[in-house]
Amino acid sequence: MTVAVPLSLIEAFDELARTPDARLIQGGTDLMVEINFNHVKPVDVIALRRIKELRTWQVNSNNTITIGSGVPYQEMEVGQLKELLPALAEAARTVGSPQIRAAGTLGGNLGTCSPAGDGLPVLFALDAIVHLQSLKSSRDLSIHEFMLGVKRNARHTNEIITGVTVPVLDGWQGYAKVGVRNAMVISVASACLAVDKKNNSVRIALGAVGPTIIRCRDAESWLVQQLDLTSATSIDTTIAQEFGRRVALESKPIDDHRSTAEYRRHAVGVLAQRLITRAYTS
Protein backbone atom coordinates (compact mmCIF):
# COMPACT_ATOMS: atom_id res chain seq x y z
CA MET A 1 0.00 0.00 0.00
CA THR A 2 1.26 3.45 -0.88
CA VAL A 3 0.27 6.54 1.06
CA ALA A 4 0.68 9.90 -0.64
CA VAL A 5 0.71 12.94 1.60
CA PRO A 6 0.11 15.97 -0.64
CA LEU A 7 0.50 19.41 0.90
CA SER A 8 -1.81 21.20 -1.52
CA LEU A 9 -4.88 20.44 -3.61
CA ILE A 10 -2.80 20.68 -6.79
CA GLU A 11 -0.46 18.01 -5.48
CA ALA A 12 -3.45 15.93 -4.42
CA PHE A 13 -4.92 16.04 -7.93
CA ASP A 14 -1.56 15.00 -9.35
CA GLU A 15 -1.60 12.00 -7.05
CA LEU A 16 -5.19 11.25 -7.94
CA ALA A 17 -4.33 11.36 -11.64
CA ARG A 18 -1.44 9.01 -11.04
CA THR A 19 -3.46 6.58 -8.89
CA PRO A 20 -7.09 7.02 -9.97
CA ASP A 21 -8.34 4.21 -7.72
CA ALA A 22 -6.76 5.66 -4.60
CA ARG A 23 -8.83 5.92 -1.43
CA LEU A 24 -8.96 9.40 0.04
CA ILE A 25 -8.38 9.70 3.76
CA GLN A 26 -9.05 12.78 5.89
CA GLY A 27 -9.31 12.15 9.64
CA GLY A 28 -9.32 8.39 9.06
CA THR A 29 -12.01 7.67 11.63
CA ASP A 30 -14.00 5.65 9.08
CA LEU A 31 -11.37 4.33 6.68
CA MET A 32 -8.95 3.10 9.33
CA VAL A 33 -11.74 1.10 10.97
CA GLU A 34 -12.58 -0.50 7.64
CA ILE A 35 -8.93 -1.33 7.03
CA ASN A 36 -8.51 -2.75 10.51
CA PHE A 37 -11.53 -4.98 9.97
CA ASN A 38 -10.04 -6.05 6.65
CA HIS A 39 -13.20 -4.89 4.88
CA VAL A 40 -11.19 -2.83 2.43
CA LYS A 41 -7.64 -3.29 1.26
CA PRO A 42 -6.73 -0.12 -0.56
CA VAL A 43 -3.67 -0.32 -2.79
CA ASP A 44 -3.15 3.44 -2.78
CA VAL A 45 -4.21 6.00 -0.24
CA ILE A 46 -4.07 9.77 -0.55
CA ALA A 47 -4.03 11.51 2.81
CA LEU A 48 -5.67 14.93 2.63
CA ARG A 49 -4.91 15.90 6.19
CA ARG A 50 -1.91 18.13 5.47
CA ILE A 51 -3.72 20.19 2.85
CA LYS A 52 -4.12 23.56 4.53
CA GLU A 53 -6.77 24.81 2.06
CA LEU A 54 -9.15 22.13 3.29
CA ARG A 55 -8.66 22.97 6.95
CA THR A 56 -10.03 26.50 6.81
CA TRP A 57 -13.47 28.04 7.04
CA GLN A 58 -14.78 31.49 6.27
CA VAL A 59 -17.86 33.66 6.57
CA ASN A 60 -18.83 34.86 3.10
CA SER A 61 -20.22 38.28 2.15
CA ASN A 62 -23.60 36.78 1.18
CA ASN A 63 -24.26 35.63 4.73
CA THR A 64 -23.09 32.10 4.17
CA ILE A 65 -20.27 30.08 5.65
CA THR A 66 -17.93 27.83 3.75
CA ILE A 67 -16.32 25.07 5.81
CA GLY A 68 -13.38 23.16 4.39
CA SER A 69 -13.78 19.41 4.26
CA GLY A 70 -10.76 18.99 6.53
CA VAL A 71 -11.94 21.17 9.42
CA PRO A 72 -12.15 18.86 12.44
CA TYR A 73 -15.36 18.68 14.46
CA GLN A 74 -13.70 20.09 17.55
CA GLU A 75 -13.39 23.47 15.78
CA MET A 76 -17.15 23.52 15.13
CA GLU A 77 -17.93 23.11 18.82
CA VAL A 78 -16.58 26.52 19.77
CA GLY A 79 -16.21 30.15 18.78
CA GLN A 80 -17.79 31.85 15.80
CA LEU A 81 -18.77 28.60 14.12
CA LYS A 82 -20.76 27.67 17.21
CA GLU A 83 -22.39 31.12 17.37
CA LEU A 84 -23.43 31.14 13.72
CA LEU A 85 -24.21 27.43 13.32
CA PRO A 86 -25.36 26.22 16.74
CA ALA A 87 -26.97 23.06 15.33
CA LEU A 88 -23.67 22.08 13.75
CA ALA A 89 -21.89 22.71 17.04
CA GLU A 90 -24.35 20.46 18.85
CA ALA A 91 -23.99 17.76 16.21
CA ALA A 92 -20.21 18.02 16.37
CA ARG A 93 -20.28 17.48 20.14
CA THR A 94 -22.05 14.15 19.66
CA VAL A 95 -19.33 12.76 17.43
CA GLY A 96 -17.27 10.07 19.19
CA SER A 97 -14.71 11.05 21.78
CA PRO A 98 -12.49 14.16 22.00
CA GLN A 99 -9.82 12.23 20.10
CA ILE A 100 -12.26 11.39 17.31
CA ARG A 101 -13.53 14.97 17.16
CA ALA A 102 -9.96 16.17 16.76
CA ALA A 103 -9.63 13.96 13.68
CA GLY A 104 -13.10 13.58 12.18
CA THR A 105 -14.41 16.03 9.59
CA LEU A 106 -17.48 16.88 7.53
CA GLY A 107 -15.47 15.76 4.52
CA GLY A 108 -15.33 12.31 6.06
CA ASN A 109 -19.06 12.29 6.84
CA LEU A 110 -19.76 13.27 3.23
CA GLY A 111 -17.26 10.86 1.76
CA THR A 112 -18.65 7.93 3.75
CA CYS A 113 -22.28 9.01 3.48
CA SER A 114 -23.57 6.79 6.29
CA PRO A 115 -27.16 7.67 7.25
CA ALA A 116 -25.86 7.70 10.83
CA GLY A 117 -23.25 10.37 10.02
CA ASP A 118 -23.71 12.92 12.77
CA GLY A 119 -23.05 16.02 10.69
CA LEU A 120 -25.28 15.12 7.77
CA PRO A 121 -28.73 16.01 9.19
CA VAL A 122 -27.42 19.53 9.80
CA LEU A 123 -26.27 19.84 6.20
CA PHE A 124 -29.65 18.55 5.00
CA ALA A 125 -31.57 20.94 7.22
CA LEU A 126 -29.48 23.87 6.00
CA ASP A 127 -29.67 22.86 2.33
CA ALA A 128 -25.89 22.78 2.17
CA ILE A 129 -23.98 23.05 -1.07
CA VAL A 130 -21.19 20.51 -1.46
CA HIS A 131 -18.09 21.67 -3.31
CA LEU A 132 -16.38 19.10 -5.48
CA GLN A 133 -13.21 19.74 -7.38
CA SER A 134 -11.16 17.82 -9.90
CA LEU A 135 -7.94 18.66 -11.69
CA LYS A 136 -9.72 20.45 -14.52
CA SER A 137 -13.06 21.56 -13.14
CA SER A 138 -15.17 22.10 -10.09
CA ARG A 139 -18.86 21.81 -9.40
CA ASP A 140 -21.34 22.54 -6.64
CA LEU A 141 -24.02 20.04 -5.74
CA SER A 142 -26.93 20.38 -3.40
CA ILE A 143 -26.55 17.98 -0.45
CA HIS A 144 -29.89 16.51 -1.53
CA GLU A 145 -28.35 15.49 -4.85
CA PHE A 146 -25.05 14.51 -3.31
CA MET A 147 -26.18 11.75 -0.95
CA LEU A 148 -27.66 8.92 -3.00
CA GLY A 149 -28.11 6.10 -0.51
CA VAL A 150 -26.43 4.11 2.23
CA LYS A 151 -22.74 4.89 1.77
CA ARG A 152 -23.34 6.09 -1.78
CA ASN A 153 -22.79 9.60 -3.08
CA ALA A 154 -22.41 11.54 -6.32
CA ARG A 155 -18.68 12.17 -6.05
CA HIS A 156 -16.73 11.15 -9.15
CA THR A 157 -13.58 9.20 -8.46
CA ASN A 158 -11.43 12.02 -9.84
CA GLU A 159 -13.00 14.55 -7.47
CA ILE A 160 -12.13 15.71 -4.01
CA ILE A 161 -14.77 17.09 -1.65
CA THR A 162 -13.29 20.47 -0.78
CA GLY A 163 -16.00 21.79 1.51
CA VAL A 164 -19.58 22.81 2.08
CA THR A 165 -21.39 26.12 2.10
CA VAL A 166 -24.33 26.69 4.39
CA PRO A 167 -26.45 29.77 5.06
CA VAL A 168 -26.40 31.69 8.31
CA LEU A 169 -30.11 31.69 9.13
CA ASP A 170 -32.12 34.08 11.20
CA GLY A 171 -33.95 31.72 13.54
CA TRP A 172 -33.44 29.02 16.14
CA GLN A 173 -31.65 25.84 15.18
CA GLY A 174 -30.72 22.73 17.12
CA TYR A 175 -29.75 19.10 16.93
CA ALA A 176 -30.54 16.07 19.04
CA LYS A 177 -29.31 12.49 18.83
CA VAL A 178 -30.51 9.36 20.55
CA GLY A 179 -27.96 6.72 21.49
CA VAL A 180 -28.01 4.01 24.13
CA ARG A 181 -25.28 5.67 26.15
CA ASN A 182 -24.72 9.28 27.02
CA ALA A 183 -21.68 9.94 24.84
CA MET A 184 -19.49 8.35 22.19
CA VAL A 185 -22.22 6.38 20.54
CA ILE A 186 -23.44 5.66 17.03
CA SER A 187 -26.75 7.35 16.34
CA VAL A 188 -29.91 5.31 16.82
CA ALA A 189 -31.92 8.28 15.57
CA SER A 190 -31.13 11.95 15.21
CA ALA A 191 -32.80 15.15 14.08
CA CYS A 192 -31.78 18.66 13.14
CA LEU A 193 -34.30 21.47 13.10
CA ALA A 194 -33.66 24.96 11.75
CA VAL A 195 -36.05 27.89 11.58
CA ASP A 196 -35.58 30.32 8.71
CA LYS A 197 -37.53 33.40 9.76
CA LYS A 198 -36.64 35.38 6.66
CA ASN A 199 -38.30 32.83 4.42
CA ASN A 200 -40.95 31.83 6.97
CA SER A 201 -39.84 28.21 6.79
CA VAL A 202 -38.77 25.45 9.11
CA ARG A 203 -36.52 22.60 8.09
CA ILE A 204 -36.20 19.27 9.82
CA ALA A 205 -33.84 16.50 8.77
CA LEU A 206 -33.59 13.02 10.30
CA GLY A 207 -30.56 10.77 10.62
CA ALA A 208 -30.29 6.98 10.97
CA VAL A 209 -33.96 6.38 10.12
CA GLY A 210 -33.66 5.72 6.40
CA PRO A 211 -31.19 4.97 3.60
CA THR A 212 -30.37 8.66 3.34
CA ILE A 213 -30.93 11.63 5.60
CA ILE A 214 -34.64 12.42 5.40
CA ARG A 215 -36.02 15.92 5.05
CA CYS A 216 -39.61 15.91 6.32
CA ARG A 217 -41.09 18.21 3.68
CA ASP A 218 -44.72 17.35 4.46
CA ALA A 219 -44.36 18.06 8.14
CA GLU A 220 -42.45 21.25 7.36
CA SER A 221 -45.14 22.61 5.07
CA TRP A 222 -47.89 21.56 7.48
CA LEU A 223 -46.23 23.47 10.28
CA VAL A 224 -45.90 26.63 8.23
CA GLN A 225 -49.68 26.62 7.86
CA GLN A 226 -50.18 26.33 11.62
CA LEU A 227 -47.69 28.88 12.83
CA ASP A 228 -46.25 32.20 11.77
CA LEU A 229 -42.64 31.16 12.14
CA THR A 230 -41.41 34.73 11.94
CA SER A 231 -43.43 36.25 14.71
CA ALA A 232 -44.45 33.34 16.94
CA THR A 233 -42.90 33.32 20.41
CA SER A 234 -44.46 30.12 21.65
CA ILE A 235 -46.05 26.99 20.26
CA ASP A 236 -49.11 25.01 21.37
CA THR A 237 -48.30 21.60 22.77
CA THR A 238 -50.85 20.06 20.47
CA ILE A 239 -49.19 21.58 17.40
CA ALA A 240 -45.77 20.44 18.54
CA GLN A 241 -47.14 16.95 19.16
CA GLU A 242 -48.81 16.78 15.78
CA PHE A 243 -45.60 18.03 14.15
CA GLY A 244 -43.74 15.20 15.87
CA ARG A 245 -46.33 12.68 14.73
CA ARG A 246 -46.04 13.86 11.14
CA VAL A 247 -42.25 13.80 11.23
CA ALA A 248 -42.31 10.22 12.53
CA LEU A 249 -44.54 9.23 9.62
CA GLU A 250 -41.93 10.46 7.16
CA SER A 251 -39.14 8.33 8.67
CA LYS A 252 -38.25 4.98 7.12
CA PRO A 253 -36.44 3.15 9.91
CA ILE A 254 -35.36 -0.48 10.05
CA ASP A 255 -34.74 -3.07 12.77
CA ASP A 256 -31.09 -3.85 13.45
CA HIS A 257 -28.83 -4.78 16.35
CA ARG A 258 -28.76 -1.16 17.52
CA SER A 259 -32.48 -0.67 17.88
CA THR A 260 -35.89 -1.39 16.42
CA ALA A 261 -37.77 0.38 13.66
CA GLU A 262 -40.63 1.01 16.07
CA TYR A 263 -38.41 2.73 18.62
CA ARG A 264 -36.61 4.79 15.99
CA ARG A 265 -39.88 6.04 14.53
CA HIS A 266 -41.11 6.90 18.00
CA ALA A 267 -37.83 8.62 18.88
CA VAL A 268 -37.68 10.95 15.88
CA GLY A 269 -41.26 12.01 16.63
CA VAL A 270 -40.29 12.89 20.19
CA LEU A 271 -37.14 14.68 19.01
CA ALA A 272 -39.09 16.73 16.46
CA GLN A 273 -41.64 17.74 19.06
CA ARG A 274 -38.94 18.74 21.51
CA LEU A 275 -36.85 20.62 18.97
CA ILE A 276 -39.77 22.72 17.72
CA THR A 277 -40.74 23.40 21.33
CA ARG A 278 -37.19 24.53 22.09
CA ALA A 279 -37.34 26.78 19.02
CA TYR A 280 -40.36 28.58 20.39
CA THR A 281 -39.48 28.72 24.07
CA SER A 282 -37.75 31.91 25.03
Partner 1 sequence: MSTVKQDTRLRDILGTSALRPDGVAKVMGSFSFSSDMWAENMLWGATLRSPHPYARIISIDTTAALLISGVSAVITAQDVPGKATYGLISADQPVFASEFVRYMGEPVAAIAADHPETCRRALAAIIVNYEVLAPVVDPELAMLATTEQIHPDGNLIRHQKIICGDPQISGDITVEGHYTIGMQDQAFLGLEAAMAFPDSGGKGVELHIATQWLHEDRGQIAACLKLPEDNVRLVLGGVGGAFGAREDISLQVHCCLLALHTGRPIKMQYSREESFFGHVHRHPAKIWMKHHATKEGKIVKVESRMVFDGGAYTSTSPAVLINGITHTQGPYQCDNAVVDGYAVRTNNPPCGAMRGFGVVQACFAHESQMDKLAQACGLSPVEVRLINAMHTGDKLITGQAMESVAPVERCIRETDAIPMPEPLAANANVLEFPGGSGRTADRQNIVRGIGWGVSMKNLMYSEGFDDYATARCTLSNGIASLKFATSEVGQGFVTLAPQIARSVLGVDDVVFETSDTQIGSAGSTSASRQTWMSGGAVDGACRLVRERLFEHVGELHNIDPIRLMIEHTDVIDTIGTFRISVTEATQGITLSETFEHHHRKTEDLDANGQGNCHVAFAFVAHRAVVDVDIELGLVKVVQIATAQDVGRVLNPLSAIGQIEGGIAQGLGLAVMEEIIMDNGRVKNPSFTDYLLPTALDAPSVVAIMIEEPEPQAPLGAKGIGEPPCISVTPAIVAAIRAATGKALSRVPVRPQDICL
Q: Which of residues 36-65 bind partner 1 (CB under 8 A)?
A: 36-38
Using CB under 8 A as the binding rule, whether residue 165 contacts partner 1 is answered as no
CB-based contact 168:82 (threshold 8 Å)? no
Using CB under 8 A as the binding rule, whether residue 278 contacts partner 1 is answered as yes
Using CB under 8 A as the binding rule, whether residue 258 contacts partner 1 is answered as yes
Using CB under 8 A as the binding rule, whether residue 266 contacts partner 1 is answered as yes
Nearer Cβ to partner 1 (95/130): 95
Contact stretch for partner 1 (CB under 8 A) within 4-12, 56-64, 176-184, 209-217:
176-184
Contact stretch for partner 1 (CB under 8 A) within 50-58, 136-144, 168-176, 220-228:
168-176
CB-based contact 279:174 (threshold 8 Å)? yes
CB of 281 to partner 1, least distance (A): 8
Using CB under 8 A as the binding rule, whether residue 3 contacts partner 1 is answered as no
Torsion angle, CA of 193/195/200/205, rounded to 10 degrees? -20
Using CB under 8 A as the binding rule, whether residue 150 contacts partner 1 is answered as no
Contact stretch for partner 1 (CB under 8 A) within 10-18, 120-128, 230-238, 268-276:
268-276
